[in-house]
Every structure is written in C-alpha cells, then in structure tokens.
Structure 1
Amino acid sequence: MTLQSGLEPGAPAEPEDTSRAPRESTGTPASKSPTQIALQRLRQDKVAVVCGAILLLLVVLALAAPLISRAMGIYPEINSPGAPKPSEVLDQFNYPEVGPPYFGFTWDHPLGIAPNTGVDNLSNLLYGLRTSLLVATLATIVSTLVGIAIGLMAGFSRGWLDRFLSFVIDLFLSFPFLLGALTLAPIITSRFSTDLDALNRAQLLGLIAVLVIFGWMSLARLIRGQVLSLREREFVQSAQVIGVPTRRILFKELLPNMVAPIVVATSLSLPAYVAAEAGLSYLGIGLTGQPSLGQTILRATGFYNTYGIYLWVPVGVVAVLVLALNLLGDSVRDAFDPRTRR
C-alpha cells in the first residue's frame, strides 16, 4: 500500500520561500525611554497637572507685571511716573480712601492700597512675586550646578580629594543657615550703602549667594552616593580600560544615569528657596529696596487687624506658590521613581 502525496515519486521537494520579510507585529507598543515614561506618568497625575497650571499662571503674572501695571495704571512705588500722591488716596490716619475691603471694588485698585505708602497692592504683589521667583530660580540653578560638580568629583575621585570634598560638604551642612545668612548678608551689602541702585543689585546678588552657599550640599551628597554606586559598573570600567578621558566618563557616562535624582532634588529645592527668600526678606536681611513678598509681609504685620487684605493676600500667594511647588515636586519624584508612588 502506497501513500498518496501531492508530489510525484522521485520529484524534488519545493524549496522554502526565504525571501519573505519577517512578519511585523502590529499590536506591540513602541518602546519608550525612562524619561518618556516618567513624563507620561506626570501628565496622568491630576495633582501635578493642577499644580503645574497654578505655577504657570503665577509665573506668567510675574513676568507680565510691568505690562499689567501699565495697562491698569497701577504702580508698585510712590515715585513711579503717573502714580497718585499718598495724600490723594489716603485719609488723615494714612488709611486708604478707595478700594476694598472698606470701600467698593474698583479696577483702579483691585486689591486696595497699602496704608502709609499709598502704593497699589496688586502691582506691589506682582512685582514681589517676580522678585521671589527670580531669586529662587537663580539660586536653584546655581546651587544645582555646584552640587552636581562637587558631587561628581567627590564620588569619582579616590583618596585625599574625596576625603577633602566630603569634609567640606559635612562642614557646610553643620553650619546653621540662619546664622550664616544673618552674618553674610549685611557684609555683602555694606560697601554699597551709598549708591541706591548698586545697593539693590548687591542685595539681590547677596541674597542669591547666601542661598547658594548654604543650599548645594544636599544635592552634592546625593550625587556622590549615586556616583559611588555607578563607578564600579561594567560600562564605567570598560570606558576606563579603553582610555576614555575622565571628563567624558563623568559627563557622558555617569551624569545621564542621574537625571532622575537631579530632577527630583531640583523640584524640591525650588519651593524651599521661595520660602527662604520670603523669610529672609521678612527678617530684614534680604531685599529692602525693591518689591518683595517678604518685605510686603513685614510691612503689613502691623495691619493684620485693621487692614487685613494688606497682609493676608501676600501670605496667601506665598502659601499657594510653595504648596504648588511642593506637590509638583512630590509628583515628579513619584513619576521618576515608581517605587515611591502612593
């Protein structure tokens, strides 16, 4: 009995068709980098979206402070061109005669007028918000760069350099921030006391310098720990064996692997600098010659009972700004490190 087949006996078998391209899978999602995955998580976080929108609104208002002031005819200083004289808007007790809360709402002064000085509260608030965000942003950028540089050197080096940099980090961490600010801020600005414009610039730069001097250590210690765990990995040792320069290993091999902790640390340090600027200005060792949220709160503390809008509006803005930055920082941390997700 013979088996029937489609081929005649003795005929050669047909060769397999190997010219076909491999079948493409249509249901497999495209691969994403860790950063893209983290950004997708961040976009799906409702708290992050709301806080980001609030922060964006405050930043736009701060940047547009001159445009808004000119468009509405409000001014942050008494001697601004076109600003009304204090006697025109204040009564005999130096309290406002127009604007809320004791008078009707008016677009001329939506948040009322500051007692004693007669400046517009809204304009002063916008310019103060602009100053606070400028100081906090510059301090965050500079302290982040300093912390990354020192952390990379301390973590990758061995021997005396690592011990010296670790000692410097521990020394600055042990020094009280408030005591250092009280000491350094007057020293930095004392030599510019004769020139008002130079004094304002010196106060701004001095405040940023104080925040940077006492703000880079935590990130440097974090980066050092990350480098200590990465420098023994195979890709770093392979780069050393083939003679890759140390600078390239630090910035091309190690630094890209630390983007997540750097982003998280930066997002959490920004609200701390905002609160520190307001606190130092409130103590009188920050900015005195230009609008600032801390200075506004300092001048308004005596009117908390009789003219509360003068105090509680800047306090509320500082609270909203710091809260939004903190919650956004927590969301960034959760997005870049799924193990910490709530």
Structure 2
Amino acid sequence: MGGGESLGDFHEEPEPVAAADGKAKKAVTGKSPTRIALSRLAHDKLAIFCSAIIVILIALAIFAPWICDWLNIFPNQDSPDAPTPSEVLDQDVLFGNPGYPLVGPPYHGFTWDHPLGLAPKTGYDNLAVLLYGLRTSLVVATLATIIAVAVGVTLGLIAGYAKGVVDGLLSFIIDFFLSFPFVLGALALAPIITSNFGDTQTTLRNAEFIALIGVLVLFGWMGMARLIRGQVLSLREREFIQAARVIGVPTRQILFKELLPNLVAPIVVAISLALPGYVAAEAGLSFLGIGLSEATSLGKTVDVARQYYREYGLYLWTPVITIMILVIALNLLGDSVRDAFDPKTRR
C-alpha cells in the first residue's frame, strides 16, 4: 500500500471561468466518494482482470443450456439426443477399472465432441456438468448473499439506532448465532430434509436447494449485522441525525433514508467479500454430502470425482480448478473494492 490519501486528493480538472477583470479563473468541481471509488476501480488493473474472469464465468453459467445445445452435449441422459451409457462406456473391465469412457480421457485421445471427457459409470458430459454445476453454485451463493445482507443490514440498523432492551436483545441474538457451529447445524438439518421431503426426486431437489440457502443465510447474516451496528453507533449522534429527530422525522425514514445511504461503502465491501465465502461454503457442504445431492453443483461434482483422482485426474481437477479460479477472482475483486472505498488506502 502506498501513502495515505484523502478524498480531497481527487478532483476533476477545473474549467476556466471568465472573471470581471477579463482574466480566466478556474472553477473547482468536486467528486462524490462513490465516483472516487469507481475511478479507483477503473484504474485498478487487477480489479479489471478479476472482473473480466467473473463476467466470463457468469456468462458461461447463464448461457449453459444454449452452449450445451450448440455443442450437442448434455448434462444427463434424460435428453432425447443424448447417447446411452452403454454406447459410450466400456462395460467390461478396462485396465482393472470398469465403466470408463470409450472416447476421450483417460485412456483415449482428445475429441472435440467431449472436450473435457465423459463421466465414468454415467456417461455424462463433463463440460455440460461443469457449466450447470457452475450455474447452480452461483445461484445459491448470490441468493444467500442477497438475503443475508438484507437481514443483516436491517437488524444492524435497528440494533445500532435503538437503545436499551432492543439493542441488548438483538446483540444477544447475534452473539448466540455466532457461537453456534455452522457445520453441526448443516449436519443436523440434512437428514431431516431427506426424511421429510424424499418422496420424489423433484421434491427433494427443491427442498435441498431451499434448505441450503436457508442454512447459509441463517449462519451468515451476523457479520453484516455487527458491522452495520458499529457504523450506526457512530452515525446516530451526528448533527444531521439529531436534526432529523428534532423536526420529527419518523424513525423508519431516519433508518433507511438518512443512515442507510451513508453505509453504502461498507455494505458494498461486505458483499464483495461475502460472495466468495458462500461459493466455497456451498461447494464444501455439497462435497460433504449435506448440500445438494439431487442437483448438479461444483461441490457435488468434486465429491463424485474424488475416487477417480489416480486414473482420471481431469474429471476431478476441472471442477476443483473452476472453484479455485472463481473464489480467488471474487476475493481479489473484493480486496480491490475495499481499497477503492477506503480513502486512507491506495493499491
């Protein structure tokens, strides 16, 4: 990090203004903190590079059905044009391992028909599974981030602005959830979901999807709430808040129209750092078998592929590297956003 710099160090080039004596004077034009942060991000090469990677991965996830249709590959055998496992898999023992693909890796040459090969025992196309798994993981992480941020910001505003019993009660709830073990809660919830919603595959898939988001939100909103509470504690004694109270502005308007706009910077930074955490958490839970068992996700793909790490390394390392690239890009972008919104730092 370089030396510190203040908001006043950034300003637009002043334009000359004609004075009464005929000499040109410069008009001073300032920038808002948000524009300053965006300007920093626009000149941050690392942030631009990470943003490009994230946009590409998001585009691949969004257009997964069209990409698979264009390449004539399918994530499962339910598609009418997809080959059956008996057509693409070796049903006999091959090098001591049954069920490996007849085309592509690990024992055959590269083919454009299946760029990442086929999954053993099922014959699913690995590229299609990767794209749909990326789609599921991004949807889960994004929804969990949005809901957790909304809950954390709301409760943080109330706890920071209120006094006495309300603040004490909300603070106790925050501390209680922070002390509860996250993995233990997920482990306890998984068999409950399976036993109550395991009648059909579709019902179980939807229940696991909702439950996973619920678990991530339930154990993920506390950090945001504590951050916002601390910020509100320092803002509620400012002159503009005191003036709003004196003239009778409703509490809800003070919270969401006076305090919330001044919390945009920490909220944006928290979102940028929370999203990669949820991506990794979803992958970890699915890998442990307590996340999504009926839907395709990156974590589930890693869980299925780990037993083939010796003979079929591509099958395992493709989703692992995808998760690694996504999480690293999100984390580095989050660091850049944090530095951009902090007037005392400079990358």
TM-score using structure 2 length? 0.90
Correspondence list, 1:153-164, <5 A: 153-164=158-169
Displacement, 1:82?
1.3
Give the match for residue 42 of structure 1. 41
Range moving further from structure 2, 129-138 or 32-41: 32-41
The question of whether the paired residues in 2 share the 8 Å contact of 1:304 and 1:311 is answered with yes
Distance 1:257 1:64 in 2: 37
Give the match for residue 200 of structure 1. 205
Specify the SS of the correspondent of 2:121.
coil
Mark the CA change 1:153 to 1:25 in structure 2 (over 3 Å): closer, same or farther.
farther
Distance 2:227 2:88 in 1: 54
Mark the CA change 1:178 to 1:27 in structure 2 (over 3 Å): closer, same or farther.
same
Give the match for residue 313 of structure 1. 318
Structure 2: stretches of 5+ with no match in the other structure: 1-18, 93-97
Distance 1:297 1:215 in 2: 24
Range moving further from structure 2, 91-100 or 290-299: 91-100
- State which of 181, 184, 196 in structure 2 corresponds to 1:179: 184
Give the match for residue 143 of structure 2. 138
Specify the SS of the correspondent of 2:344.
helix
Mark the CA change 1:299 to 1:25 in structure 2 (over 3 Å): closer, same or farther.
farther
Give the match for residue 217 of structure 1. 222
Distance 1:242 1:290 in 2: 55
Q: State whether structure 2 residue 87 is matched by structure 1 residue 82.
A: no
Higher relative contact order (CA 8 A, sep 6+): 2
Mark the CA change 1:320 to 1:22 in structure 2 (over 3 Å): closer, same or farther.
farther
The question of whether the paired residues in 2 share the 8 Å contact of 1:76 and 1:123 is answered with yes
Displacement, 1:101?
4.5
* Structure 2 counterpart of 1:31, one-letter code: G
Distance 2:127 2:22 in 1: 65
Distance 2:253 2:43 in 1: 36
Give the match for residue 12 of structure 1. none
Distance 2:20 2:255 in 1: 42
Mark the CA change 1:22 to 1:210 in structure 2 (over 3 Å): closer, same or farther.
farther
Q: Larger C-alpha radius of gyration, 1 or 2?
A: 1
Give the match for residue 9 of structure 1. none
Give the match for residue 115 of structure 1. 120
Displacement, 1:32?
1.5
Distance 1:156 1:338 in 2: 25
Specify the SS of the correspondent of 2:40.
helix
Give the match for residue 233 of structure 1. 238
Mark the CA change 1:24 to 1:171 in structure 2 (over 3 Å): closer, same or farther.
farther
The question of whether the paired residues in 1 share the 8 Å contact of 2:105 and 2:312 is answered with no
Q: Summarize deviations over 1:164-188 as a string: whole Å, max 9, x none.
A: 0000000000111111111123324
CA RMSD, 1 decimal: 1.6
Range moving further from structure 2, 251-260 or 74-83: 74-83
* Structure 1 counterpart of 2:71, one-letter code: M
Distance 1:45 1:113 in 2: 40
Number of positions where the alignment pairs a residue of Structure 1 with one of Structure 2: 323
Q: State whether structure 2 residue 287 is matched by structure 1 residue 282.
A: yes
Displacement, 1:102?
3.3
Q: Summarize deviations over 1:273-329 as a string: whole Å, max 9, x none.
A: 000000000011111111110110001001001000000000000000000000000
Specify the SS of the correspondent of 2:59.
helix
Q: State whether structure 2 residue 66 is matched by structure 1 residue 61.
A: no
The question of whether the paired residues in 1 share the 8 Å contact of 2:106 and 2:311 is answered with no
* Structure 2 counterpart of 1:45, one-letter code: D
Specify the SS of the correspondent of 1:30.
coil
Specify the SS of the correspondent of 1:191.
helix
Distance 1:29 1:95 in 2: 70
Q: State whether structure 2 residue 302 is matched by structure 1 residue 297.
A: yes
Displacement, 1:341?
3.1
The question of whether the paired residues in 2 share the 8 Å contact of 1:143 and 1:215 is answered with yes
Mark the CA change 1:37 to 1:89 in structure 2 (over 3 Å): closer, same or farther.
same
Distance 1:25 1:189 in 2: 76
Give the match for residue 30 of structure 2. 31
Displacement, 1:73?
1.0
* Structure 2 counterpart of 1:180, one-letter code: G
Mark the CA change 1:242 to 1:319 in structure 2 (over 3 Å): closer, same or farther.
same
Distance 1:32 1:24 in 2: 26
Distance 1:280 1:166 in 2: 28
The question of whether the paired residues in 2 share the 8 Å contact of 1:189 and 1:206 is answered with no
Give the match for residue 9 of structure 2. none
The question of whether the paired residues in 2 share the 8 Å contact of 1:146 and 1:216 is answered with yes
Give the match for residue 129 of structure 2. 124
